[in-house]
Amino acid sequence: MAKSLSKVWLRGLKRLLAIQTEHAHKTAKRTTTRPARAATSKPSAKARPVKPAAALRTPVKREAPRPAARESRVRPRASAWASGAWTRSFHSAPAAPGRLVNHLQYGLYIPSGHALDAMPLVVMLHGCTQSIDEFAEGTRMNVLADRYGFAVVYPEQSKHVHSHRCWHWYDASDAAGGAEARAVVSLVDALIAQYGFDSERVYVAGISAGAGLTALLATHYPEHFAAVALHSGPAFNEARSGITAMDVMRRGARREPVELVDDAVDVASYPGMPAIVIHGDADHVVAPVNGDQLAEQFVRLNRMVDKNGARKSGEVREERKGGVVTRDYVRSGRRVVRLCRVQGLGHAWSGGDEAVPFHSAKGPDASALIWEFFRHQRRAGAGNVAESAATAASAVAR
């Protein structure tokens, strides 16, 4: 009996609310439409129209203005390709286990007005869910290529390999990240043979998962690259699966960064690798601590600290300017490792085209910072890169 009475009461309450709501809508409609009718009728000659009191007016709810669509800072977008030649193609890389073929898609940008012979080459590795077109537009690296005369190649992860186009940076096996790194190296060698690019001035830069693959290339194929850039990237050599990769991204490496380096490579025989690390302090995808750990790892790779992390050579210079904390590890007057922490920057390319996902107008132009670092590095033979690079004074000009 009590349950049936409750049901009757609830039905009555719902009906009452429906009637009140309908009445309120009709009242509001009559009130808001009266001024419109008065505005179209002719006023009486004897009676002057009286404005309704403010207290009696029924407020008309106005829709909030829609935010304007973000416009590209590259106008028009096509100028992201600038004035040179943009070519999309694929490279038949060495087949990975379980695959009959291994086609690596890529985009190649060659600036006009510069001699191809001995032209530097920059390899750009995108992050998850990005395409090479978006990465080129957002970073505007091709615009710098026109200005300074270097070629840019953008390898593209296949959706057949990973549905979100992520590189398998955490898995160095031949069936995953190892195959992807080998494919990139094979592509670079093929382009050098075809176009005559300078093999001593090949550089690689990446963001997020692309930065992870950059670290894999730096540790497994150091003889191919003169310097690397890692933007919003994870510390390397701790993750072994997708789950542990997420843990590193969120918390950083749990083991000592220097210890992870010594487990990955024989530091005594490693030829060294100049590196620039850029990370936003508001990155909630790859925790900022990863940037600090990456810098420590590359300081160890360049033998500036021993296996315990104690400094063996060089000095550290730190500068705070324009919302950026820059830490340079310098040896013999040369900048070997640079860490840039950008205030307020999330998981996005610093100083990029914010109309493109994962690029932000906040912070300095990362592309310009990276090329400024790269242009002073050269891989000449098997010696330590820090000792075989270009002029010492110009390398620390900034």
Report DSSP letters for 230-282, one per residue. Answer: EESPPPSSS--SHHHHHHHHHH--SS-HHHHHHHHS-TTT-----EEEEEETT
Residue 78 has a pLDDT of 57
- Tokens 């979100």 locate to 164
Q: What is the largest CA-CA distance in the chain?
A: 103
Residue 191 has a pLDDT of 97
Q: Residue 189 burial by CB count (10 A; 0-12/13-18/19+): exposed, middle or buried?
A: middle
pLDDT, tens digit (0-9, with 9 covering 90-100), for 327-364: 999 999 999 999 999 999 999 999 999 999 999 999 99
Q: Does 355 reside within a domain?
A: yes
Residue 10 pLDDT exceeds 60: no
What is the C-alpha radius of gyration for the chain, rounded to an integer number of angstroms? 30
Q: Does 60 reside within a domain?
A: no
Q: Residue 51 burial by CB count (10 A; 0-12/13-18/19+): exposed, middle or buried?
A: exposed
Q: Does 21 reside within a domain?
A: no
For residues 132 and 220, give the distance between their C-alpha atoms in angstroms, rounded to a whole number: 24
- Answer for the pair 210, 230: CB distance below 8 angstroms, yes or no: no
Residue 382 has a pLDDT of 36
Share of the chain above pLDDT 70, in %: 74
- Answer for the pair 341, 276: CB distance below 8 angstroms, yes or no: no
Residue 178 has a pLDDT of 93
Residues of the domain holding 292:
77-395
Q: Which of 125, 120, 178 is nearest to 145 (CA)?
A: 120
- For residue 33, the 8-state DSSP code is H
Looking at residue 100, which CATH number applies to its domain? 3.40.50.1820
- How many structural domains is the chain composed of? 1
pLDDT, tens digit (0-9, with 9 covering 90-100), for 107-166: 999 999 888 889 999 999 999 999 999 999 999 999 999 999 999 999 999 888 899 999
Residue 35 pLDDT exceeds 90: no
Q: Does 112 reside within a domain?
A: yes
Q: Does 152 reside within a domain?
A: yes
Sign of the C-alpha dihedral computed for residues 267, 243, 251 and 230 taken in this order: positive
In this prediction, residue 82 has a pLDDT band, given cuts at 50, 70 and 90, of confident
Residue 79 has a pLDDT of 55
Q: Which residues contact 120 (CB under 8 A, 6 or more apart)?
A: 149, 150, 151, 197, 198, 201, 202, 203, 374, 375
pLDDT, tens digit (0-9, with 9 covering 90-100), for 247-279: 999 999 999 999 999 999 999 999 999 999 999
Instruction: Record the tokens describing residue 389, joined without a space.
Output: 């690079």
Give the range among 37-41, 49-53, 65-69, 99-103 with minimum mean pLDDT. 37-41
Q: Which residues contact 75 (CB under 8 A, 6 or more apart)?
A: none
Q: Does 57 reside within a domain?
A: no
Q: Does 25 reside within a domain?
A: no
Q: Does 271 reside within a domain?
A: yes
Residue 249 has a pLDDT of 97
- Mean residue pLDDT of the chain comes to 82
pTM confidence score: 0.77
Q: What is the mean pLDDT of residues 57-62?
A: 43
